[in-house]
Structure 1
Amino acid sequence: MKKFLLLIILLSVSVSIFAQETNGVDMATELRSSGKIYVVVAVLAVIFIGLAFYLFSIDSRLKKIEKLQK
């Protein structure tokens, strides 16, 4: 579990480094100027949080099943 959290932290740092490049993407500029970029970010965040919750719930169920089999 500690290795997984470390991996997530390292990936988020590397993504933020690549995000600081200054080559203007037209689509991103349009979304940012109209305020729709926040909707895109919010939807992606909800999807990732939902996936993480689902995976952790499956992990806890598997642990319960493994304990019952022993």
Structure 2
Amino acid sequence: MMKNFILTICLMVSFSLVSLAQNSNGVDMASELRESGKIYVVVMVIAVIFIGLAIYLFSIDNRLKKIEKQK
């Protein structure tokens, strides 16, 4: 019963946030970055950060597997 209530509240909050996030006039900063070509720099920086995090997490996973095999 309580799970359903919490789930309902979470869904209502998320739907309200989505409706507030929609803006009909667009994002000025993104259009300026797109016009100047700097949006590609932003995308590449974010991609490098995510790739670095993925490599770091896989290396931690491999280390943990080695430790588990030793025990």
TM range (shorter): 0.5 to 0.7
Q: Rg larger in 1 or in 2?
A: 2
After TM superposition, which residue ranges in structure 1, 4 or more long, deviate above 4 angstroms? Answer: none
Question: Could you tell me how far apart the structure 1 residues matched to 2:23 and 2:38 are?
Answer: 20
Q: Which amino acid aligns with 1:51?
A: L
Unaligned runs of 5+ residues in structure 1 are 1-20
Match runs of 1:3-22 below 5 Å: none
What is the TM-score normalised by the length of structure 2?
0.65
Unaligned runs of 5+ residues in structure 2 are 1-21
Count how many residue pairs are aligned between Structure 1 and Structure 2. Answer: 50
> How far has the Cα of 1:66 moved from its partner?
0.3
Aligned to 1:30: 32
Aligned to 1:18: none
Aligned to 2:50: 48
The percentage of aligned residue pairs carrying the same residue is 78
Q: Which amino acid aligns with 2:59?
A: S
